[in-house]
Structure formats: structure tokens, C-alpha cells
């Protein structure tokens, strides 16, 4: 997926699981444009993972074996925590 095709990435962020939508959508909306191209590629790669894995990782019920994906998961968690709750 092209890191500059924000409409497609936005669509990929919509997971259909409320917990994932609450974690991923605000991060995309508020943080994506500030990421480096490398981190944008990593974010897109994270979106290609299965929902159960994303859920477990983002809810701290496990961690990806890939160190780069783990870094992105932690970045999402950190930025969302700093920003505070977002009403959806």
C-alpha cells in the first residue's frame, strides 16, 4: 500500500472491532502526518496484520516477535496515552 494514499490507509485503519478502532483511528488522524516515511511504511505493515494479533498487541496481551512492529505498537500506545481519551 502506498504510504501517500491516505484514503486507502484510512480505510485500512477501520477494523470493525471497537477496541482497535479506538486505538488505531486516532493515531492515524493525529499522528500519521508527523511520522517519517520509514514509520509510515511500518504503520502500513502493522495494518496488514490480523485483527486478533493487533488486538492482543495493542491491549498488552502479547507482543509481536518483530522488533519494528513492537516499536510501532508502543508508539501508538504512547501517543494515544499522551493525547488522552478520544470520543468516537
Mean pLDDT of 32-46: 97
Burial environment of residue 68 by CB neighbours within 10 A (0 to 12, 13 to 18, 19 or more): middle
Phi, psi dihedral angles at 86 (to 5 degrees): -120, 125
User: pLDDT at residue 55 above 90?
Assistant: yes
CATH architecture for segment(s) 6-83: Orthogonal Bundle (1.10)
Query: Distance between CA atoms of 8 and 68, rounded to whole angstroms?
Result: 22
Mean pLDDT of 9-34: 93
Report yes or no: 36 and 28 within 8 Å, Cβ to Cβ.
Answer: no
Query: Distance between CA atoms of 1 and 60, rounded to whole angstroms?
Result: 27
The band of 36, judged by pLDDT with boundaries at 50, 70 and 90, is very high
Mean pLDDT of 13-29: 91
pLDDT of residue 85: 62
pLDDT of residue 37: 96
pLDDT of residue 86: 60
Amino acid at each position: 500500500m502506498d504510504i501517500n494514499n491516505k484514503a486507502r490507509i484510512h480505510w485500512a485503519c477501520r477494523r470493525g472491532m471497537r477496541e482497535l478502532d479506538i486505538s488505531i483511528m486516532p493515531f492515524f488522524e493525529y499522528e500519521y502526518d508527523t511520522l517519517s516515511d520509514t514509520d509510515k511504511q511500518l504503520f502500513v505493515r502493522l495494518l496488514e496484520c490480523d485483527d486478533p494479533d493487533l488486538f492482543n498487541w495493542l491491549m498488552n496481551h502479547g507482543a509481536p516477535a518483530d522488533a519494528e512492529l513492537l516499536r510501532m505498537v508502543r508508539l501508538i500506545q504512547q501517543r494515544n496515552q499522551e493525547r488522552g481519551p478520544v470520543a468516537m
